[in-house]
Each structure stands twice: as structure tokens, then as C-alpha cells.
Amino acid sequence: MIDKIKEHIAEVEAFSAKTKDEIESFRIKYLGKKGLLNDFFAEFKNVAKEEKKEFGQTVNALKKAAEEKVNFLKNSLEGQAESEGKYGDLTRPGEPIEIGSRHPISIVKNKIIEIFSRIGFNVSEGPEIEDDWHNFTALNLPEYHPARDMQDTFFIQTNPDILLRTHTSSVQVRYMENNPPPIRTISPGRVYRNEAISARSHCFFHQVEGLYVDKSVSFADLKQTLQYFTTEMFGKSKIRLRPSYFPFTEPSAEVDVYWGLETETDYKMTKGTGWLEIMGCGMVDPNVLDNCGIDSSEYSGFAFGMGIDRIALLLHQIPDIRMFSENDIRFLEQFKGTF
């Protein structure tokens, strides 16, 4: 008899139903007044004394299993009915979801990061609100240095030592202070300068700066790195480096890429020369390495920096830098499907 009850327990556990009528028939079969459970309870008096305990426990297990199965099936059907009433036919095709678009600044920044990550550069970030040491002094720009005038800075009025960073070189200083060589990192981010807003300039924009510090790093390493970048970014392999001046690099150079003169737009962009300036670069000044706790007699390095906004303007032929910050959905929708 006990084995027979156990067979019923297995049958209850395996039972499923799709309609209320099936559930009700199941309930009556086991839990009704004339159901199997009443028959088993009535049979209890005829069971041998030594089997009564096991018999009673097995019958109770069958009762519990039947009650739980009935409740579960009822709740499942009610939930299904509620879903169908709220959402309708769940098998029909869904409404099309509007595809968003990335901002052109993000598109270009991600591409730059992806290119440099292939040759071992990681990404470092730092605060946009900086102190004078990390933004100027550590970068070979002590107080009253005339080169500070090259960058019109937003200072905090109540504390002249606190400012909005004018370049992401401050991130490189922080990285060198906390990481021993070899160092290979790029620092993308937003920077601020007190400049008049026009179609070609803004009081805030985006930069990405790169830094490589190790033993025996040379200018040839710098040139080869930039050659690789321009080829991957623009599909242009011809570059030139012109002597320039930056307080934190020596020697310093401006990097031009040969854009070509194939279209009228090329003539306008390059002023008829075919060459287009894209970034500044140079060998890290030994004073900067020493300021950051790196022995300049043992290590050397190179650095470079470029404007992400400027590259985005070039690649996408955008006529006005102010369009990046106006949040005009008609402008942003043009970059759907671009990653």
C-alpha cells in the first residue's frame, strides 16, 4: 500500500495542466470528498501497527504534494491570464526600438584608444579640477613663467592654486608619480581654457595625450609611433615633424599629415599645401621626469597630444565646433550606426 501511495506522489509531481477544468479534475481526484486521499485515510485502521507511522507520513506527503500542485497550477494560469490581458499576444512582433547614436567625440576618442591599445598603451584618467603643481609647475612651468600665458586659465577665485585643467598632461604627472617605468599610457579627457567661443574654438574641448617612459627611448621611437597612428587613424602614411616649442618637452615638434589635394575641400582644409597639422609632440624634458620622481639619468620618454574635437571636425567634415555641445538631435542622428 505504501508503494502505491508513493506512485501517486510521483504522478502528482509530474502532473501539468493548461486549463482550469484539468486542475479541478485533478483536485477532485485527490482532495475531493470521494478522492483518493480519503480512501487512504480510511485504510489507516487496517494497517499493521508497525507500519502505521510510515503509512501516515506517506499519506500526508501525498496530501501536501497535491495541495501544492493545485495552488501552483492555479497561480500559473492566473499569472498567464494577467499577462495576456496587460500585454496582449506575447507572440506577436515587438514595436521597433529607436536606435541611438554615439556622439562624434566619443566615436573618435574610442577609435584613438583602440589604436593605441594595440601597441600596449593603457588609459589613465584624472580630475578636471586641478592644482597648480600638476597642471603647471611639475611640467616645467614655474610661477610667472611666460609660457603660462599660452594657456588662458580658469582659476578658482577664492583659491588661486586651484584651477580647471588646461591640458591632460596633468594626468600624466599624476600617473608618473604613482607608477614606476616602464610607462605607456594615453590620457583622454575634457580641458578648459578662457578663450572666445567661435566656429573653430571653444572654452572647453577634449584632448588625448600620450606618454611613453622607459630606458633608451629615442625620438625615432616617437616618430614611428606617430607614423603608425596616422596610418591607422586617417589612412595617411606620410607625415612630417616641424620644430616647435613646448615647456615640458625638448626637443619639441608639430606633426603634420599629408592630407592630399584631391578635392576642393582638401584645398580649403590645407590652404593649398596638402599638409594638415594634427598634434604636438616631443621628448619629455628631464626636469619633468625628476619632478615626478623618475630618474632622468636612467630613463627617457616621449609625449604627444592632440585635440579630439579637431580630429572629429576633420574626419566628419563638421563646420562648427559648437555643434558638439548644442545637443541638437538632428545633428547627433547623423552618426547612427557609427562606432
Tell me the mean pLDDT in the region 284-298.
95
Residue spans per domain, the chain: 2-87, 104-335
What CATH class is the domain 104-335?
alpha beta
CA distances to 48, 232, 260, 277, 285 from 240, in Å: 103, 16, 13, 9, 22
Query: pTM score, two decimals?
Result: 0.69
Q: Which H or E element spans position 171? A: helix 169-178
> How far is it, in rounded angstroms, from Cα 185 to Cα 205?
20
Please check whether residue 303 is in contact with residue 286, taking contact to mean a CB–CB distance below 8 angstroms: no
Q: Residue 226's closest CA among 213, 214, 249, 210?
A: 210
Highest-pLDDT range among 92-106, 148-162, 185-199: 185-199
> How far is it, in rounded angstroms, from Cα 207 to Cα 109?
9
pLDDT at position 67: 82
Residue-averaged pLDDT of the chain: 86
Question: What letter represents residue 184's amino acid?
Answer: R
Q: Which of 14-23, 239-248, 249-258 has the lowest mean pLDDT?
A: 14-23
| String of DSSP letters for 37-101 | HHHHHHHGGGS-GGGHHHHHHHHHHHHHHHHHHHHHHHHHHHHHHHHHHHH--TTSPPPPPPP-B
Tell me the mean pLDDT in the region 254-265.
89
pLDDT at position 118: 95
Chain segment 71-128, per-residue pLDDT in tens: 887 888 776 655 555 556 667 777 777 777 889 999 999 999 999 999 999 999 999 9
Q: Which H or E element spans position 146? A: none
Tell me the mean pLDDT in the region 289-309.
95
CA distances to 86, 87, 139 from 98, in Å: 23, 20, 47
| % of residues, the chain, pLDDT over 90 | 45
> How far is it, in rounded angstroms, from Cα 15 to Cα 72?
11
Whether residue 148 is predicted with pLDDT greater than 80 in this model: the reply is no
